[in-house]
Chains A and B, each alone.
Chain A
Amino acid sequence: MTTLEEKALTSQEVSAELTDVKSRHFEPSGLLNWLTSTDHKMIGKSYLITSFMFMLLGGALALVIRLQLASPNNSLVTLHQYNELFTMHGSIMIYLFVGPFAFGGLANYIVPLQVGAPDMAFPRLNLLSYWLYLSGGLIMVLGFFVTGGAADFGWVAYAPLSNAVNSPGAGPDMWIVALLLTGFSAIFTGVNIIATVFYLRAPGLTMFRLPIFTWNMVVVAILILIAFPVLTSALVMLYADRHFGTHIFEVQGGGVPVLWQNLFWFFGHPEVYILALPFFGVVTEIIPVFSRKPLFGYKGMLFATLAIAALSTGVWAHHMFTTGVVLLPFFSLMTYLISVPTGVKFFNWIATMWRGHIRFDTPMLYAVGFLITFLGGGLSGMLLAAPPLDFFEHDTYFVVAHFHNVVMALFLAAVGALVYWYPKMTGRMMREGIGKISFWFMFIGANVTFIPQYILGLRGMPRRIVTYPPGIGWHFLNELSTIGSFMIAVGALFLVINFWVSWRKPIPAGNDPWDGHTLEWYTTSPPPHHNFDRLPIVRSERPVWDVKYGLEGAAIPGHSNSNPPSSVKDKDHADNAAG
């Protein structure tokens, strides 16, 4: 038997294989393919690469912010530049990276494969989504190059700071237009995902056998359809206020500024779960595969996801506790309740690992890193859910630490997803060694960056301040936080090196490198244009596992991979599992 390293092929041999796959279907190549292909796999990869680039840009902005804050009375950047930096860092990461990476990139690539479909339901709409996203993203970033610079009112753009008087110039307008475009991109993708999952599932793949990742994407798509139209209309109103003389958010004309906050957060809180649920799904795929067990409570997990989604539309005003104009107990209670299904998820993940045979390959390492980091963010979220506590944590670094703790957990899961599905997308393995170095830098870096920020917040450091005086106990913690942020950057650098190494010296992955459970592992890596030459019979939530181990065979110790698909057929009638 040969080890993986001995199997390394030259890049010519691999590209010969790829040509063979491609020759079954005519497609242009290069730039033209990138811009015109309606294949969900191509669009998915385009989203992944584009959003990864935006992530590197947003991360670079964060490093400048951290350098500015590393020492007291620092003047690395001007006041105005600093405001642009944190606005664009937040906007890029939230609107152009995490969301599009998840439901533009991962969902696009993986959902049709997991449901056994040849493509998304509306391939051309899918391509339009990508075009809208790409143009929106470029417009937002190009704001840096216009007179007056990019948007500088924070990623939440509170009225009336975001009006034409307080934030004049083209940069803020470009920010608004960019969000309109990317918003429509998200809405169209949402429609596409729902249609794909509802109408293009393989025979036997009932909704209760759907992989949790795909289920989460359906829920995300529903949340997108609830939340994004509200943001889009709020942005249109803001634009009208800025240019067409309306006074929707202006006191002087009888408008209501706090309406912006209500509309924005009615989008903003479901958005938090639009960002988080895909990565809950990723982790729910990775943990059972690497524990070599089924998900402990499939239905519990599913209902928890649905409960989170439902509750997430009723918690928006916990961002507004200090406004004094919202009903505090209601939004506090809803926020507390959302921790219950989140807890159910945690116990499910743990129970799935319980008595498993856990292989700590890189994806699993990232998944456990996600669990540990996300729990910190969840617990500090509980501390923010009480209005009296929120009164002194709100708008301080405590909140900054809380949501960065959460999104860094999502980021770890995102890298885990890349490492997990990279073999499927490219037919190559990423290097385990480099992947593990990358993980430890990111994981330790994330905690070194953001745990000091909790303490800074409790010591009264507000967010979005450009500098601070010496001698008030903030210097050391800020310095520590800056060191941590550069550790994350080193981790990201190793990730890029890992891509590069796997590109230059490919190790072929085979169809099913991780001993996977779901349909994407049944086809070739990368899949052919139409995804599947044949499909296994789906009789449980783990169709590919059933093919390999048999429906009951899973319980037999030492069971070998000798069950061909036909043996599944024989057991059809006897089986009623997980139906």
Chain B
Amino acid sequence: MRRLESLLANINSHRWLTSIVGIVGAGLTLSACNIPAFGAYHGSTLQGHDTFKLWQGFMIIALIVGVIVWGLILWSSFRYRIKPSKSRPNNPDSSDSRDSENSLPRQFQYHLPLEILYTVLPILIVAVMFYFTVVTENEVDAVSANPAVRIYLTAFQWGWRFNYTGEGVSVVGNYNHYPQAVLPVGETVQITLVSSDVVHGFYVPAFNFSRYAQPGVTNVFDLNIRKQGIYNGRCTEFCGLYHTEMIFSIKAVSPTAYHAWLSKQQSKTRTKS
């Protein structure tokens, strides 16, 4: 045990480890401002933005672990490489060929403190990752009891039907004519997602979110869109011939514009009927 303690103390004294802990902590606690996006969308919903922050933190952890382990692999490859001599031991009938390689490396095995260290350290890392995963997951999956807008969204081969619950308005489209749903920003939109045939996937890249639409399963989730704009979305789960063309978009507007659009649609429906 004393050996382990001294080893741990020795490693703790290294400045690099302290700085790594610092960076990881910073990555997880700081907000999005000065950390790179690592290729992901910033998340145009509250939920998607939470996801984005988790992504940043995890990318930092992954890069640190990656740099250390890749570094160790490359270091030991280059440092302990020996130049192949002309008489390598692949020569079948030269019993003395190994002599020309001079020495064997020291045949060491097993170092219990080191082995405990490289088992416990990853456990600690994943424990931290798991904690932040659960926190973010609860934020993303939280469902409001009284959302401002309720949408009953049906996926079918190969299109989408957005029913505005209680408003008598629906937006339908398929692979010939992509549907565009209008939603308000700054309010809670609750989507109830079902499928009328096979498994589909509701996916809006800019929201950092997707969810399956499945026969026999009803999925409910909330979106709080932060910024106005047009967001493209599509089916992610392969659903047959026109999977590629199962596209929709969401036009996020101000609540006033949303209500204006809604009453226009309602009057359209009334004149039709």
Q: Are the C-beta atoms of B205 and A459 separated by less than 8 Å? A: yes
Given contacts A258-B216, A515-B89, contact A292 B105 (CB under 8 A): yes
Q: Are the C-beta atoms of A329 and B126 separated by less than 8 Å? A: no
Q: Are the C-beta atoms of B103 and A375 separated by less than 8 Å? A: no
Q: Which residues of A contact B (CB under 8 A)?
A: 1-4, 7, 79-80, 83, 153-154, 158, 160-161, 166, 251, 256-258, 291-300, 322-325, 328-329, 332-333, 336-337, 339-340, 343-344, 346-347, 349-351, 353-361, 368, 371-372, 375-376, 379-380, 382-383, 385-389, 391-392, 394-396, 429, 454-455, 458-460, 462-467, 508-515, 548-549, 554-562
A83: B residues at CB distance < 8 A: 238, 240-241
Q: Are the C-beta atoms of B55 and A389 separated by less than 8 Å? A: yes
Task: Give Cα A459 to B210, complex, Å.
Answer: 14
Q: Are the C-beta atoms of B115 and A297 separated by less than 8 Å? A: yes
* Interchain Cβ contacts under 8 Å between A and B, 22 examples: A161-B239, A258-B216, A291-B80, A295-B109, A296-B109, A300-B119, A324-B211, A336-B130, A337-B123, A344-B118, A350-B73, A350-B76, A351-B114, A358-B77, A382-B61, A386-B137, A389-B55, A454-B39, A460-B203, A513-B92, A554-B104, A555-B107
**B49-91 contact mask (Cβ, 8 Å, vs A): 1 or 0:** 0110011001101100110011011101100111010111111
Q: Are the C-beta atoms of B98 and A560 separated by less than 8 Å? A: yes
Task: Give Cα A298 to B77, complex, Å.
Answer: 21
B107: A residues at CB distance < 8 A: 293-294, 554-555
Query: Nearest Cβ in chain A — how far from B27, in angstroms?
Result: 13
A513: B residues at CB distance < 8 A: 89-90, 92
Task: Give Cα A2 to B92, complex, Å.
Answer: 10
Contact partner of A558 (CB less than 8 A), chosen from B51, B102, B241, is B102
Given contacts A83-B241, A388-B50, A391-B51, contact A511 B92 (CB under 8 A): yes
Query: Nearest Cβ in chain B — how far from A197, in angstroms?
Result: 23
Contact partner of B133 (CB less than 8 A), chosen from A3, A380, A387, A556, is A387
Q: Are the C-beta atoms of A353 and B80 separated by less than 8 Å? A: yes
Most A CB contacts (10 A, CB to CB) among B197, B211, B214, B240 go to B214
B72: A residues at CB distance < 8 A: 350
Q: Are the C-beta atoms of A79 and B242 separated by less than 8 Å? A: yes
A386: B residues at CB distance < 8 A: 54, 58, 129, 132-133, 136-137
Would you call B223 an interface residue if the criterion is a C-beta within 8 Å of the partner chain's C-beta atoms? no
Contact partner of B90 (CB less than 8 A), chosen from A383, A429, A466, is A429
Contact partner of A322 (CB less than 8 A), chosen from B39, B88, B212, is B212
**Chain B residue with minimal CB distance to A337?**
B126
Q: Are the C-beta atoms of A466 and B199 separated by less than 8 Å? A: no
Query: Nearest Cβ in chain A — how far from B208, in angstroms?
Result: 4
B65: A residues at CB distance < 8 A: 379
Would you call B14 an interface residue if the criterion is a C-beta within 8 Å of the partner chain's C-beta atoms? no
Contact partner of A368 (CB less than 8 A), chosen from B69, B77, B134, is B77
Task: Give Cα A387 to B65, complex, Å.
Answer: 21
If A257-B216, A258-B214, A388-B51 are given as contacts, then 9 extra A-B residue pairs at C-beta distance below 8 Å, sorted by A number, are: A161-B199, A295-B109, A332-B137, A344-B118, A353-B73, A355-B80, A356-B105, A359-B81, A465-B244
Task: Give Cα A458 to B80, complex, Å.
Answer: 38
Task: Give Cα A292 to B108, complex, Å.
Answer: 11
Contact partner of A296 (CB less than 8 A), chosen from B91, B110, B208, is B110
Q: Are the C-beta atoms of B122 and A339 separated by less than 8 Å? A: yes
Q: Are the C-beta atoms of B58 and A383 separated by less than 8 Å? A: yes
A333: B residues at CB distance < 8 A: 130
User: Which of B2-10, B229-237, B252-260 sits within the interface?
Assistant: B229-237
Q: Are the C-beta atoms of A80 and B126 separated by less than 8 Å? A: no
Q: Are the C-beta atoms of B84 and A359 separated by less than 8 Å? A: yes
Contact partner of A79 (CB less than 8 A), chosen from B115, B118, B141, B241, is B241
Q: How many chain-B residues does the 8 Å CB contact rule pick out? A: 97
Q: Are the C-beta atoms of B217 and A258 separated by less than 8 Å? A: yes
Given contacts A1-B94, A358-B80, contact A392 B205 (CB under 8 A): yes
Would you call B219 an interface residue if the criterion is a C-beta within 8 Å of the partner chain's C-beta atoms? yes
Q: Are the C-beta atoms of A467 and B244 separated by less than 8 Å? A: yes
Number of A-B contacts (CB under 8 A): 299
Would you call B183 an interface residue if the criterion is a C-beta within 8 Å of the partner chain's C-beta atoms? no
B70: A residues at CB distance < 8 A: 372, 375
Q: Are the C-beta atoms of A392 and B105 separated by less than 8 Å? A: no
Query: Nearest Cβ in chain A — how far from B84, in angstroms?
Result: 6
Would you call B272 an interface residue if the criterion is a C-beta within 8 Å of the partner chain's C-beta atoms? no
A359: B residues at CB distance < 8 A: 81-82, 84, 88
**B238-251 contact mask (Cβ, 8 Å, vs A): 1 or 0:** 11111110000000
Query: Nearest Cβ in chain B — how far from A308, in angstroms?
Result: 13
A467: B residues at CB distance < 8 A: 244
Q: Are the C-beta atoms of B109 and A396 separated by less than 8 Å? A: no
**Ranked 6 nearest A-B pairs via Cβ:** A510-B92, A460-B205, A395-B236, A557-B103, A336-B126, A324-B219
Contact partner of A332 (CB less than 8 A), chosen from B61, B98, B133, B199, is B133
Task: Give Cα A455 to B205, complex, Å.
Answer: 13
Chain B 1-60 residues near chain A, CB threshold 8 A: 38-41, 48, 50-51, 54-55, 58-59
B187: A residues at CB distance < 8 A: none
Q: Are the C-beta atoms of A161 and B238 separated by less than 8 Å? A: yes
Task: Give Cα A555 to B107, complex, Å.
Answer: 6
Would you call B97 an interface residue if the criterion is a C-beta within 8 Å of the partner chain's C-beta atoms? yes
**Chain B residue with minimal CB distance to A158?**
B199
B147: A residues at CB distance < 8 A: none
Q: Are the C-beta atoms of B102 and A557 separated by less than 8 Å? A: yes
B270: A residues at CB distance < 8 A: none
Q: Are the C-beta atoms of A515 and B98 separated by less than 8 Å? A: yes
Task: Give Cα A508 to B93, complex, Å.
Answer: 11
Contact partner of A389 (CB less than 8 A), chosen from B54, B211, B214, B243, is B54
